[in-house]
Amino acid sequence: MKSNLNGNGADHFHNLAYQDQLNLIWQQGKLLEARRIPGFWLHLYAINAFFVEMWICQRKYSVNLVRVLANVDELEPYIDKVSLGELFSDGYNTAL
């Protein structure tokens, strides 16, 4: 996946404060899939031209980690569950 270098891309997202990252996810992100690993729910969001994974503690119901998926290989756990066609029909421009 290519990073979007404009003001709406992954580079801009990395430069935001943590709370601003969360706000951007909740305001502009599209939840694609949720999966569970021991102790956490992992939510995959599409935001503009990149994907973000949010790690939510199952015990505390708090967000412990937000990370941009930097390459296609990181999407592997989600590929069989997510229809990327939905993104294109909703006007998202993903760069895979």
Please say whether the beta carbons of 19 and 62 come within 8 A.
no
Confidence category of residue 6, pLDDT binned at 50, 70, 90: very low
User: Which residues are 68's β-sheet partners?
Assistant: 52
> Residue 12, exposed/middle/buried by CB under 10 A (0-12, 13-18, 19+)?
middle
Q: What are the structural domains of the chain?
A: 10-89 (3.30.67)
User: Which residues are 45's β-sheet partners?
Assistant: 31, 52
Coil, strand, or helix at residue 30? strand
Say if residue 28's pLDDT is above 90: yes
The whole-angstrom separation of Cα 39 and Cα 56 is 8
Over residues 31-73, the pLDDT tens digits come to: 999 999 999 999 999 998 899 999 999 999 999 999 999 888 8
